[in-house]
Amino acid sequence: MLATLRHRLHEAFVRWAVPVRAPEPAPIILTQRRVYVLPTAAGLSYGTALIVILLGAMNYNLSLGHALVFLLAGLGVVTILHTFRNMALIALSPGRCDPVFAGGTAQFALVLENRRSDARTSLRVFIGDGEPVEIDIGAQSSVIALLPIAAVRRGWMRVPRITIETTWPLGLVRAWSYVVPDLSCLVYPAPAAKAPSLPWTSDSSRGTSREGRGADDFAGMRDHQPADSPRHVAWKTVARQQDGPLLTKLFSGAAAAQVWLEWSALPEAMGTEQRLSRLARWMLDAEAAGHAWGLRIPGLRLAPDHGATHLGNGLRALALYQDGAR
């Protein structure tokens, strides 16, 4: 009961603290009215100690005790000012978030810019109960904070409310603020752990005569991509280099097969998410094997092709599939 009441009060405060409707337009400036300051547990203990020292000095009429209390109290007031200034007027902008598969971890990038001539020290950025990312921002510079969030389901995932805080320099007070930037991540359906072999049909295995990833004649090398088959990696060339990039061998000819991945060819008993997972697995398998592949799902047709761009288009279509609409 008490925890529920605290949660409701906290959410009510957050709604009041974020002055505009989420998501907020960039850049988000932490003005003085958006930075909140309260004492920490150490700060409360510090204040209690000052009261005890003051009572002792008054009881025994110790002038040095009074001087010590006023000195330490002044130090506490200055600490409040410096902690507040360490947060105020920071500019925040949404970065980017590369697509991930459901079940993975999305990395939301938040750009923090310091437009003042003094550095910002020991800032912590986090989402909910997640592990805080500690950063420092130099004078007239910016940094990128990567905030991890578990990607549970496919589709667009919007970044939740972000908290930025600091207790610099002495840890006696905490200054914090909330931001809700316009930042989203595309989550692909999780590929099926086990799937049948690619669905070859009578018209699926026709060769292509364009340059590609066939298996006839060697046509050169290019930088390795995650979807490339390990069998096509130029291991001998890589072994002769020191800390060189992985290279993939390219072939030309008519042996590069193509396959159609069709929604209608899947068993009728399969649910929507199972179908999407199966198709995602087949896409990855076709890319790894060097086959050109096409996709047919309700409301969308992708002509056979291969490569990172084609794979991204196919996975995006699966991620955003909703009753035949992309």
Residue 8 pLDDT grade (very low, low, confident, very high; cuts 50, 70, 90): confident
Task: Clarify whether residues 176 and 226 are in a common domain.
Answer: no
Task: Clarify whether residues 133 and 227 are in a common domain.
Answer: no
Cα–Cα distance, 234 to 171 (Å, whole number):
55
| Percent residues over pLDDT 70 in the chain | 81
Task: Clarify whether residues 42 and 167 are in a common domain.
Answer: yes
- pLDDT score for 18: 67
Residue 218 placed within a domain: yes
Render pLDDT for 96-127 as a digit per residue (tens, 0 to 9).
999 999 999 999 999 999 999 999 999 999 99
Task: Clarify whether residues 135 and 237 are in a common domain.
Answer: no
Task: Clarify whether residues 36 and 180 are in a common domain.
Answer: yes
Residue type, 38: L
Average pLDDT of the chain is 85
- pLDDT score for 306: 87
- pLDDT score for 225: 62
Task: Report, in angstroms and rounded to the nearest whole number, the Rg of the chain calculated over CA atoms.
Answer: 29
- pLDDT score for 219: 53
DSSP string, 49-111: HHHHHHHHHHHHT-HHHHHHHHHHHHHHHHHHHHHHHHHTT-EEEE-----EETTSEEEEEEE
Phi, psi of 100 (to 5 degrees): -135, 165
249/209: higher pLDDT: 249
Cα–Cα distance, 227 to 285 (Å, whole number):
8
Residue 194 placed within a domain: no
Render pLDDT for 205-216 as a digit per residue (tens, 0 to 9).
444 444 444 445
Residue 198 placed within a domain: no
- pLDDT score for 6: 76
Domain boundary among 188, 218, 240: 188
Given a cut of 90, is residue 245 above it in pLDDT?
no
Number of domains comprising the chain? 2
Residue bearing tokens 């699926």: 204
DSSP designation for 210: S
Residue 184 placed within a domain: yes
The secondary element (H helix, E strand) that includes residue 312 is helix 308-319
Task: Clarify whether residues 144 and 266 are in a common domain.
Answer: no
Cα 114 to chain centroid, rounded: 22
Residue 195 placed within a domain: no
Burial of 319 (0-12, 13-18, 19+ CB in 10 A): buried
Task: Clarify whether residues 9 and 157 are in a common domain.
Answer: yes
Task: Clarify whether residues 226 and 272 are in a common domain.
Answer: yes
Render pLDDT for 256-296 as a digit per residue (tens, 0 to 9).
567 899 998 899 889 999 999 999 999 999 998 888 999 99
- pLDDT score for 213: 47
Residue 132 placed within a domain: yes
Residue 199 placed within a domain: no
Per DSSP, helices labelled H in 207-263 are: 235-240
Q: What is the mean pLDDT of residues 57-63?
A: 91
**pTM higher than the cut 0.85:** no
Q: What is the mean pLDDT of residues 155-180?
A: 94
Given a cut of 90, is residue 194 above it in pLDDT?
no
Task: Clarify whether residues 89 and 171 are in a common domain.
Answer: yes
- pLDDT score for 208: 45
Residue 172 pLDDT grade (very low, low, confident, very high; cuts 50, 70, 90): very high
Do residues 235 and 262 lie in contact, with contact meaning Cβ atoms separated by under 8 Å? no
Task: Clarify whether residues 215 and 306 are in a common domain.
Answer: yes
Domain boundary among 157, 188, 219: 188
Residue numbers of the domain that contains 306:
207-319
- pLDDT score for 310: 95
Q: Name residues whose C-beta falls within 8 Å of residue 91's C-beta, 6 or more positions apart in sequence.
A: 27, 28, 29, 30, 112, 113, 114, 115
Domain boundary among 188, 223, 245: 188
Q: What is the mean pLDDT of residues 241-267?
A: 72
Task: Clarify whether residues 174 and 243 are in a common domain.
Answer: no
**CB atoms inside a 10 Å sphere around CB 67:** 11
Identify the weakest region by mean pLDDT among 9-18, 66-75, 78-87. 9-18
Residue 197 placed within a domain: no
Burial 47-64 (b: 16+ CB within 10 A, else e): eeebeebbeebeeeeeee
Task: Clarify whether residues 180 and 219 are in a common domain.
Answer: no
Do residues 262 and 286 lie in contact, with contact meaning Cβ atoms separated by under 8 Å? no
